[in-house]
Each structure stands twice: as C-alpha cells, then as structure tokens.
Amino acid sequence: MDILIVTQYFWPENFRINDLALGLFEKGHKVTVLTGIPNYPEGRFFPGYGFFKNIQQDYSGIRVIRVPLLPRGHGGAFHLALNYISFAFCASLLGPFYCREKFDLIFVFEPSPITVGLPALVLKKLKSVPIIFWVQDLWPESLSATGAVQSEKILKMVERLVRFIYRRCERILVTSRAYSAPIERHGVDPCHILYFPQSVEDVYKPMTAESDAIERVMMPTGFRIMFAGNIGAAQDFGTILDAAERLKDYSEIHWVIIGDGRMRSWVEQQVKERGLSRNFHLLGRYPIQSMPHFFALADVMLVTLKREPIFALTLPGKIQSYLACGKPIIAALDGEGALLVRESGAGLSCPAQDADALAKAVLAMHRIPDEDRKIMGIRGREYYAVNFDRNILISKLTGWMQELVNEVEDFKQRSLHA
C-alpha cells in the first residue's frame, strides 16, 4: 500500500508515530509523512530547520515533507493556538501541492490538536481515499481538564469541529477502550471504532546498567522513584511534590524526573521553596535510546494524571514503556491506567491527586523486598508481550488498512457498474 501519514509532530521530535511509520515501512509499504517544522517541546525550531530549510527529508526510507508553522513558544494558550492553526492551514494549503502522487489511504496521528484532521480531510476530498484517524487525546474534554480552555463558547465550537472531523473518517482508532463511548456520542458508528493501543520502540526492554554507565553517574544513592515523560499540567506534579514533601525525612527515598515540559520551571521553583533539593532531581530530557538505561537504575517507575473524568479514560503511553522494560510501577491515577497496572500485577495503584495515598504507596513499595519487586516487573513484561507487542500490533493495523482499501475499491467498482 501507498500510505500518507498526516501528523503535526514527527522525527526528530520524539513521538510514537516515528516508530509506527518505520514499522509500516518495514512491512513493505510505501510511506510518506506530511508534518511540520520540529519545535516540540522547546518551543523553537530545531537546529538546521526553518521555513525554507530541510522541508523534504528521508527518514530511513520514508519521505518526509514539512510545511511551515509558527513555533509553540513557551506553551501558552495563545502561542499554542497559533501553532495548531498555522500547521492546519499550511498543511491544507501546501499538502496537495507537495503530495501529488496517488495514495491508498491517509493515516492521521492525533496526540493533540484535533486540527491535524483538517488537512487530511482536504487531501481526502482531492484524492478520494479513506482516512484512518488514531486518537491519542480526546477533544474538547482534554482542553477543559487541563484548564487550557475555560470558555464554554469555545469548547462548544471545538466540539462541533471534532464531530465534523470524526464523522468524515472511515475508521477511528483509540488507544484506550474507554475512549469508544465519548467518540460514539459524536455520531460515529461503533463498528468503525477500533482499539489500537500504543506500543513502544524495540529499544524498550529489560536491561542491567553497567557499572560504568553514564546514567549511573547521574543517579542519587538510595531508593529511586522515577518519572519519565512530559512535565505538564495533566501529569499533576503538584501531587508528586506534595508526596515528596511528606516523605522528605526519609533521606534514602529519591524522586528522579527524566523529561521536560512547560511546567518544569514551576516544578524547579517548588523544589527550592519546599526544601526538596536533596531528594527531588530533575535530570532533563534524553533520547529514547537512553530511556531503558535510566529505567534499569530505578527501583520503581511512576505514572500520574490529574483527577479528571477524561484522564480516567486515558491509558498513558508511558505505562507500556515501563512494562516493556520489566519495571514495577506505582500508578497514581484513576480508571483505565490504574486498572491495567492492577490487572497485570506489575505494581501498586492509588487514587489520582491524593498525595497521602501516593506517599503511602511509595513507602509500601520501598518496604517490598527487591525480589518481589522484580517479580512485579516480570509480570508486567509478560503482560506487555501479550497485549502490546509492536510487531503484533503493526500486523493488526496493516490488516485493517488493507481491509479498508479493499472495501473502498469494491465500493468504487460497484458504483461504476450501477
């Protein structure tokens, strides 16, 4: 098949669509990616990129086409809105010019924003090909949950846009089974909604850190709780800090944060004000290849989300990373994510936004013998192999793609002979 992927984010930005595109290419399909100029998460263009620099590239055999957009800046609502709208506008305007060849289908990656669907609809209209839309983030629910948008009028406008896009997609994939019901409420046929969870890159696997590993030098000595990923509003760092403050007399317990995001400066300030510098360590962002090496040095991995109905429906992608590396998990969240951790036997869960419960979970995990924590990690790895294996999921996706292409082609043939 000849597949066009439409995504606002792509390599060298660190998103799961990078590996999925490679997986489709490895299966023998021709893959083209229509994307923007990389600027996430720093908010400025990556070195070597600009409005007229590196607009066409090759990524391991995949053709990458970049259209202009306004960088996200420091992540404020105004700059984010300009970032989202500029990509949707430029991709809709320039996409048909750059993507002139015939495609069998369009695959849309939507972690946020929903506006990434607009250029896909333009291309669908011009090329008469179906769309598969992979939902990572429910709009407008996530906008109100994070506080990014509070105006009911704007939220209603976004809701109408979401309904407009969803109803024009032939298939909608969801990363959490709980996403199906909210999407159905937009008038989508339940038969067109398919569960397709995130997998992780093959680099995520159980490892043993070497004695001279560079990551080891960065680690504090003691019991290490590690969080890896975005430092944003949804991740509820207020509760993490509150729990760390409750446990700061336990000098051997250390909170290690690997990642970056728009709330990092606030977290750094809070660490200073609360006197947590000895136990709370923000190490910054590192490439995917480094993550399993960092994970190997953690005693337990942490995943958190705010207490919001939308987040209770969400299955955070970092859980799969943790499971794949065979690490025990503390899940301070509600709903799907907590259920998965309990079901897999990979760790402990506690309610979202409950600092007392999180502190108790950390102490409980600290008191569990090393061997028992290792058994949790093994259970998690086994659960991952059955439910989230990369090759199994990509094979399932290509099967759905081929079925859809055949279905559309059969419809066209019947119409010609009607």
Rounded Cα distance between 24 and 336, Å, is: 28
The tens digit of pLDDT for each residue in 43-63 reads 999 999 999 899 999 999 999
Rounded Cα distance between 110 and 102, Å, is: 23
DSSP string, 266-305: HHHHHHHHTT-TTTEEEEE---GGGHHHHHTT-SEEEEE-
Mean pLDDT of 175-197: 95
Residue 151 has pLDDT above 90, yes or no: no
Mean pLDDT of 287-314: 95
pLDDT, residue 409, reads 84
Distances (CA, A) of 359 to 166, 231, 330, 355: 41, 19, 10, 6
Beta bridge partners of 32: 4, 63
Whether the domain at 2-199+389-417 and the domain at 214-387 fall into the same CATH topology? yes
The tens digit of pLDDT for each residue in 87-123 reads 999 999 999 999 999 999 999 999 989 999 999 999 9
The tens digit of pLDDT for each residue in 272-281 reads 999 999 999 9
Mean pLDDT of 214-223: 92
The mean predicted confidence, pLDDT, of the chain is 94
Query: What are the domain boundaries of the chain?
Result: 2-199+389-417, 214-387
**Which of 299, 319, 307 lies closest to 357 in space, CA to CA?**
307
pLDDT, residue 146, reads 75
pLDDT, residue 3, reads 98
**DSSP β-ladder status, 56-59 and 62-67:** antiparallel
Q: What Rg value do the Cα atoms of the chain yield, rounded?
A: 22
Any idea what the Cα angle at residue 177 is, between residues 349 and 200, rounded to 5°? 70
CB atoms inside a 10 Å sphere around CB 233 = 18
Mean pLDDT of 69-86: 91
Q: Which CATH superfamily is domain 2-199+389-417 in?
A: Glycogen Phosphorylase B; (3.40.50.2000)
Per DSSP, the three-state class of 69 is coil
- The torsion angles phi and psi of 109, rounded to 5 degrees, stand at -105, 120
Residue 414 has pLDDT above 80, yes or no: no
The tens digit of pLDDT for each residue in 338-370 reads 999 999 999 999 999 999 999 999 999 999 999
pLDDT, residue 418, reads 62
Residue 212 has pLDDT above 70, yes or no: yes
With residue 380 as reference, give the H or E element that holds it: helix 370-387
pTM for this prediction: 0.87
Looking at 3.90.1150.10, 3.30.870.10, 3.40.50.2000, 3.90.1300.10, the CATH number of the domain 214-387 comes to 3.40.50.2000
